[in-house]
Structure 1
Amino acid sequence: MTRFRLADLTLFEQVVLAVSFVLFGVYVLDPFFLERSKALAPEARNFLRSITDIGRSNWMLIPAGSLVALALVLRRTHRGFRNAAGYGLIASTIGFVFVSVGGAGLIGNLTKYILGRARPKLFDTLGPFDFQLFSFDPDHASFPSGHATNIFALATVLGMLWPRGKVLLYTVAVWIAASRVLIGQHYFTDALGGAILGTAFPYLVRERFAARRWLFEPAPQGGYRLRGERTRNWLGWPGTSRPETAPGKARLFRNSRPDSLGIEGD
């Protein structure tokens, strides 16, 4: 049986397919989910409003930037190779989070103000496909959703560091992105666009980090992995060796059986 691959399509066919998906999303899915949001029970709306601001970037970037600065200062003031290496690892890890989430968010904000798509509250007068380029008006800053961009970027970054947590991380991200649609702040395609941007950008950052051997390195079987077997083992990466833990020491994550995730401590 022949396997379908998008790469096998011609450029024209790919463009036609992409435009078709966009138009279907804008003219069919966006109005549908907007009507569903208006029909939500007050209790459901209140719940979604209570979780939606988890997608704001402030609580992600401010602590991350502060911790990077602190780790760099400690690396310079604490003598010894092991201390310098440890603080360097901390700085590069948090720096990866900061650059990935902040960079995705910056691109998302620039895009939304350049495109100037009208928000759902203007749907009755302007429809789902109204754009005012370079308007810099909050009412015309709908695509992509900043909350969806930020939370998917964070979920992707943390999923790269802790692969076994991807299901949990992306579940939370989907809830946050969906909340923006269901409380009427964004269209479905806004949240989808933010999710795509937030997921894709950290992979580009990881590639640049790995090229400089910052935090990541090429894996023997292809792709990338965290540098340092001890770090991978501590985070429960698949395929790492599992030496016995020394007395008084603990790994954060350990499989007690092949399909389970445990937490080991004293």
Structure 2
Amino acid sequence: MRLLMGLYEADRVVTQQAGSRIPARAGQVLSVVEEAAESAKLWCGAAAVMAAFGGWRGRKAAAAGVAALAVAQLVSNGLGKQLAERPRPPKEWFPHDEVDDRPDSSSFPSGHTAAAVAFTAAVAPTWPAAGIACAVPTVLVAVERVQSGAHYASDVAAGAGIGLISGWLTRQTPYLLLRHWL
């Protein structure tokens, strides 16, 4: 029980610190990146660019990224949020008005983070340079979700875990199917 209380307290502290310590200009940059990632626009745009200009490797990376993103969204938003029903962090923890513009859905897990990490994790093995390029906005989206008051740090960590598993599963599915059918 003591460990659980310690984890809850650490989650609270990290969430409050992110909301109050990140400079306003940095918060504005984070908001722009999050807005671009809303409804997977950023990741679908990245996939389109990869498919159009990356040849065979770009098309393969884009397809893997979009598939992983879809799996992560299904797991995080379609399943996780329905089961968890965790309230968003308290508004009074955040000294800025971004906290007024957050969803009403469950806080756990972060679907934005799950999608971003899934896309990046699926792209990176096929096209490492594109994976590195995608990692930058992925990290910014994850930080923004806590900084804006939309999520606790643990929601973002859970979303990242879902994203990593979705990316791995998406990349392994063809091999698993071939092993099963051969």
Q: How far apart, CA to CA, are the structure 2 residues paired with 1:108 and 1:189?
A: 13
Distance 1:23 1:166, change over 3 A: farther
Letter in 2 for 1:118: P
| 2:84 matched residue in structure 1 | 115
Confirm or deny: 8 A CA contact 1:148 1:194 kept in the other structure.
yes
- After TM superposition, the structure 1 = structure 2 runs for residues 1-266 of structure 1, keeping only pairs within 5 Å, are 20=3, 23-59=5-41, 60-61=43-44, 90=59, 94-109=62-77, 110-121=79-90, 138-212=103-177
TM-score by length of 1: 0.51
Counterpart of 1:118 in 2: which secondary structure?
A: coil
181-190 or 50-59: bigger deviation: 50-59
Separation (CA, whole Å) in 2 of partners of 1:100 and 1:36: 28
Change (3 A) 1:123 1:141: farther
Q: What amino acid is the match of 1:207?
A: Q
Please name the residue that 2:97 is paired with.
Answer: none
Percent of aligned pairs with the same amino acid = 23
Letter in 2 for 1:102: A
Distance 1:54 1:47 in 2: 11
Q: Aligned-pair distance for 1:176?
A: 1.4
SS of aligned partner of 2:125: helix
Give the partner amino acid of 1:107.
Answer: V
Q: Is the CA contact (8 Å cut-off) linking 2:61 and 2:122 kept in structure 1?
A: no
C-alpha deviation, 1:102, in angstroms: 0.5
Structure 1 unaligned residues grouped into runs of 5+:
1-15, 69-85, 125-137, 214-266
Cα pair 2:12 2:152 within 8 Å, conserved: yes
Any gaps of 5 or more consecutive residues in structure 2? Answer: 94-102
User: In the alignment, what sits opposite 1:4?
Assistant: none
Deviation at 1:46, TM superposition (A): 1.9
Structure having the higher helix fraction is 2
Deviation at 1:164, TM superposition (A): 4.5
- 2:96 is matched with none
CA offset at residue 94 of structure 1? 4.1
Aligned partners of 1:55 and 1:148 also within 8 Å: no
Instruction: Determine the structure 2 residue equivalent to 1:234.
Output: none
Alignment root-mean-square deviation, CA = 3.4
* Change over 3 Å in CA distance of 1:41–1:31 after alignment to 2: same
Partner SS, residue 161 of structure 1: coil
Structure 2 residue identity aligned to 1:203:
W
SS of 1:154's partner is helix
Distance in 1 (CA, whole Å) between partners of 2:72 and 2:145 is: 18
Residues 54 and 176 in structure 1, CA contact (< 8 A), matched pair in contact too: no
Aligned residues: 162
Give, in angstroms, the shift of residue 141 of structure 1: 1.0
1:45-103 Cα distance to aligned partner (Å, 9 max, x none)? 222212222333432359969xx9xxxxxxxxxxxxxxxxx99x94x654433221111
Cα deviation digits, residues 108-144 of structure 1 (max 9, x gap): 00201321111013577xxxxxxxxxxxxx5351111
Whichever of the two has the greater Rg, that structure is 1
The one-letter code sitting in structure 1 at the alignment partner of 2:13 is P
Contact kept in structure 2, 1:121 and 1:185, CA below 8 Å: no
Provide TM-score, normalisation by structure 2.
Answer: 0.71
CA 1:123–1:200: 2 relative to 1, 3 Å: farther
Further displaced range: 197-206 or 159-168: 159-168
Matches of 2:37 and 2:155, distance apart in 1:
14
